[in-house]
Amino acid sequence: MTDKYIYDILVFVGRFQPFHVEHKRIVNIALSKAKHVLVLVGSSGKARSVRNPFTFGERLNMIYDSFPEDIHGRLIILPLYDKLYNDPAWINQVQTVVKETTLDIINGGGFRTVGLSDAKVGLIGMAKDHTSYYLKMFPQFASVDVPMTVPMHATALREGFIDGHMKKHEVAVGQLPMNVANFMYNEFAFSPEYQQLRRELDHVRAYKKAWEAAPYPVKHMTVDAVVEQSGHILLVKRRSEPGKGLWALPGGHLEEFEKLADGVIRELKEETGIKVPDAVLRGSVVDTNMFDDPYRSTLGRVITFAQHIKLADATSLPKVKGADDAEKAKWIPIGDLREDMLFDDHFAIINYFLGL
């Protein structure tokens, strides 16, 4: 490492939905202090939603294209996957990626003759709000805190773009790098995925408006069933927004005078028509838990109660058929599950119960 740089590598973690000018400023500061900058793009496996409209590949291009080509060799951009309800797994993921990347860098991509203790590694970011809690999870890394110079609200940028009220000339350069604005407004805005996001945003806003007269912030209670049998999970395909077309756990809103466990069985049967007696379903519950990530639903603060129902292994699976809010019901092999095919945090809920 030359005297020009304080660090071998600085790590910048974010979702970059989208990559805006404050993100770019932080990367530039990192480039002035470190030989290499590792950008870890969070929520990389998520299905598209109003909160996560862009894929990892799209965000990777946003970031690379925001910098001259001669900088690209010093920029390393890698995906980071959510590990909801399992912070140790998320921390381990970050530590492993940083370790492997740093060892490759300081050893020139060849034999690893130099160890991690010989490298100067730092974590750079803005300790701006509760979403930056991760900055305190890695005391082994030096901390580089960058004060925010221009208030930047990614939610307003996303929703203003999706609903069409925020025009390109209003955000280009001042809030978004020009290449990002060009991609969003000249390319993505003409895609079927964009139209789906517009419909989803309209649905979410109408849903929230119906509750805005409440004298306090509304919190919703839902129930979900994780039904496992013979290496398969029972899922339903969502018929409408939000998440239309995504696979989901059978579930829905708890009725006013209903017990949680009763709601799980009711929703399961309504949406899948599974031909298993209630007594067998109730007797097959092996675990229960509440799932309460504040951002788990685009509809607002939604807490769900889920039960893991493990049916005895068999040579054939119970017949199911989508009904009610479900377009389709299907047994899906556990090995075929992907985060980007599942609604909200349902992939994380399945992982929690199955220990994946």
pLDDT, position 2: 47
How far is it, in rounded angstroms, from Cα 288 to Cα 293?
A: 16
- Digit-coded pLDDT (tens) for 79-116: 999 999 999 999 999 999 999 999 988 887 666 666 67
Which residues contact residue 240 at a Cβ distance below 8 angstroms, ignoring those fewer than 6 apart?
203, 325
Residues 39 and 180 placed together within one structural domain of the fold: yes
Residues 185 and 234 placed together within one structural domain of the fold: no
Residues 84 and 223 placed together within one structural domain of the fold: no
Point out which residues pair with 216 in neighbouring strands: none
Q: Tokens representing 81?
A: 């996957």
Does any domain span residue 197? Answer: no
Does any domain span residue 207? Answer: no
Q: Residue holding tokens 């991690």?
A: 116
The 142-145 sheet, strands edge to edge: 75-79, 34-41, 7-14, 121-125, 142-145
Q: What is the largest CA-CA distance in the chain?
A: 72
Of 142, 169, 190, which residue sits at a domain end? 190
Whether the bond between 242 and the residue before it is cis, its omega within 30 degrees of 0, is: yes
Residues 186 and 224 placed together within one structural domain of the fold: no
Residues 292 and 159 placed together within one structural domain of the fold: no
Q: Residues 223, 198: contact at Cβ < 8 Å?
A: no
Total domain count for the chain? 2
How far is it, in rounded angstroms, from Cα 223 to Cα 305?
A: 5
Does any domain span residue 202? Answer: no
Does any domain span residue 205? Answer: no
Q: Please tell me the pTM assigned to this model.
A: 0.92
Of 141, 171, 190, which residue sits at a domain end? 190
pLDDT, position 117: 77
267, 269, 313, 319 from 234: Cα distances, Å:
13, 12, 14, 10
Of 174, 190, 206, which residue sits at a domain end? 190
pLDDT, position 171: 93
Residues 283 and 337 placed together within one structural domain of the fold: yes
Does any domain span residue 200? Answer: no
pLDDT, position 257: 95
Residues 171 and 282 placed together within one structural domain of the fold: no
Which residues, given as ranges, of the chain have pLDDT below 50? Answer: 1-2, 130-131
User: Which structural domain, as residue segments, surrounds residue 250?
Assistant: 219-354
Residues 268 and 315 placed together within one structural domain of the fold: yes
Residues 145 and 235 placed together within one structural domain of the fold: no
Residues 245 and 290 placed together within one structural domain of the fold: yes
3 state DSSP class of 356: coil
Residues 51 and 166 placed together within one structural domain of the fold: yes
Q: What CATH code is carried by the domain that includes residue 319?
A: 3.90.79.10
Residues 241 and 113 placed together within one structural domain of the fold: no
Q: What CATH code is carried by the domain that includes residue 89?
A: 3.40.50.620
Q: Residues 17, 176: contact at Cβ < 8 Å?
A: no
pLDDT, position 19: 97
3 state DSSP class of 252: strand
pLDDT, position 110: 65
Does any domain span residue 284? Answer: yes
How far is it, in rounded angstroms, from Cα 354 to Cα 62?
A: 35
Does any domain span residue 213? Answer: no
Q: Residues 157, 171: contact at Cβ < 8 Å?
A: yes
Does any domain span residue 206? Answer: no
How far is it, in rounded angstroms, from Cα 280 to Cα 266?
A: 14
48, 88, 191, 220 from 195: Cα distances, Å:
12, 37, 7, 27
How far is it, in rounded angstroms, from Cα 255 to Cα 264?
A: 11
Residue 148: count of CB within 10 angstroms of its CB: 13
Q: Tokens representing 237?
A: 């395909």
